[in-house]
Amino acid sequence: MTGEQKQIFEKISKVVLNKQGGIFFLYGYGGTGKTFIWRTLSAAFRKIVLIVASSGITSLLLPEGRTTHSKFKIPVPTLDNSICNIEQGSEASELLKKVELIIWDEAPMAHKYCFEALDRTLNDIMSGMTKENTVFGGKVIVFGGDFRQILPVIPGGSRSDIVNSTINASYLCLYVGEEKEYLSSDSVDESASSDAYSNITSKFLNSLSMFGLPNHKIKLKIEVPIMLLRNLDQATGLCNESRLIVTRLANHVIGAKLITGNKDGQEIYIPRMSMSPSQFPWPFKLIRKQFPIMLSYAMTINKSQGQSLGFVGLYLPTSVFSHGQLYVAVSRVQSKYGLKILIHDNDNKRCSKTTNVVYKEIFQNV
C-alpha cells in the first residue's frame, strides 16, 4: 500500500476492531486504488464484511460483491419514507446484525433516499442492541466514489433535482450468421382490463418502448454483441450492463458468452422472463415477456460507468447534457492511446471541441 492507502486502512481497521461504529467516505477518481482498499479490508478481517456497489458492473469487480438493491432489498422506486424489504427474524436481518463492516462503492450514483432507507432499516434491526436513533444502527460503513462522475439519474429531473438527490459527502463525514426473430408476449395488468382500456390493442402495446424494457421484437444472429438488462445471477457475472456475444439461438433460450467481468469467456444461457418498468408514463402497468437483452454494438456513456476498456471510440453528435458524462467517457480507457473521439456540430461538421457539463455546487461540501 502507499502511505495514504495505509493511513486509510489503519483508520478504518481501528474503528472496526474497537466496535465503535462510524461512517467514512473514500473520495477518489478512477485509478487511485479504491478497489484495492476494498479487497484489502475484506481480506484483513475474520469478520462478516459486506461489499456492495450501486452499479451491477462495478459489483463484479469486488470480492463477493452484490448490488445495493439486491443485498439490502431497497425498493424500486425509492421514496423519501421507504424502508428496505427486510423483516425482523429473517436471514437477511440476522446477517445485518452480525456484520462488522459495510463497504458501499459508487455511492454518488445512488439517490439519497437509498441511504435513508438503509439507515431506517438498520436502526429497526438493531433496536435494543444499540442506542436509539444511532446513525446506520451503529455499524461501520465506508462509502466510496467519485463526484466527478455521473450522479443519480432523475427521469425528467432538473439540475436542482439531481443536485438535491445526491449524497452529501460532508454530512456523512461528520459521523466519521443465422438470423432469428423473437417475438414477445405482451400483456396488461388485470387492473387495466376494464372498459376504460378496451380500445388498447396489441399493436399499440407492441409499439411501446421504454428505457430498461426490451423491445417487442428483437432480431439477432450468431456472434452479435448484446447487453443484459436485468440482474440474473451475479455470482456468474450475469447482471445488468453485462455484455455478451451470442453463440446459439434456440426457440426458448439464447446461448451467449460473457465478455466482461471476472467470468470472461464463460458460456451461459438466457431465458425469457416477464418484465415491467419500475416507472412508466402510461395509466396501466405493462408486463412484457421477452429476453432481457438489447443489441450492444455501442453503449451509452451512463452504461459504461464502472468499466475499464483497452480501446474506446467516443461519438458525440451532440454535446453531453449532464454532470460527469464526458469525464466518465474518456476515463473508461486505460491509456490516452486507446481513445478516439469524433465530435460533430449542429451542421454535422467535424469539430475539435465540445462542452463539458459540470455542476460545481456538487463539490462545495467535498
Read off the amino acid at residue 360. Answer: K
Q: Which residues of 320-353 are buried (b: 16+ CB within 10 A; e: fewer)?
A: bebbbbbbbbebbbeeeeebeeebeeeeeeeeee
Reply yes or no on domain 3-173 having CATH 3.40.50.300: yes
Q: Dmax of the chain from CA atoms? A: 69
Is the whole-model pTM more than 0.85? Answer: no
The per-residue pLDDT for 179 is 47
* CA 314 distance to own-chain centroid: 21
The phi and psi torsions of 108 (rounded to 5 degrees) equal -60, -15
Three-class SS of residue 310?
A: coil
What does the alpha-carbon distance between residue 141 and residue 126 come to, in Å, rounded to a whole number? 15
The per-residue pLDDT for 185 is 42
Mean pLDDT computed over 223-241: 82
The per-residue pLDDT for 326 is 92
1-36 tens-digit pLDDT: 888 889 999 999 898 888 878 889 998 877 678 888
**CA proximity to 238, closest of 361, 355, 67:** 67
322-354 tens-digit pLDDT: 899 999 999 888 888 999 999 988 888 888 889
Average pLDDT, the chain: 82
E-strand ranges in the chain read 22-27, 49-53, 66-67, 101-105, 140-145, 179-183, 185-188, 217-221, 225-228, 243-249, 253-258, 267-271, 273-275, 286-290, 293-295, 312-316, 339-343
Residues of the chain with CATH 3.40.50.300: 3-173
Confidence band for 308, pLDDT divided at 50, 70 and 90: confident
Whether 350 contacts 344, CB under 8 Å = yes
247-266 tens-digit pLDDT: 999 888 999 998 876 667 78
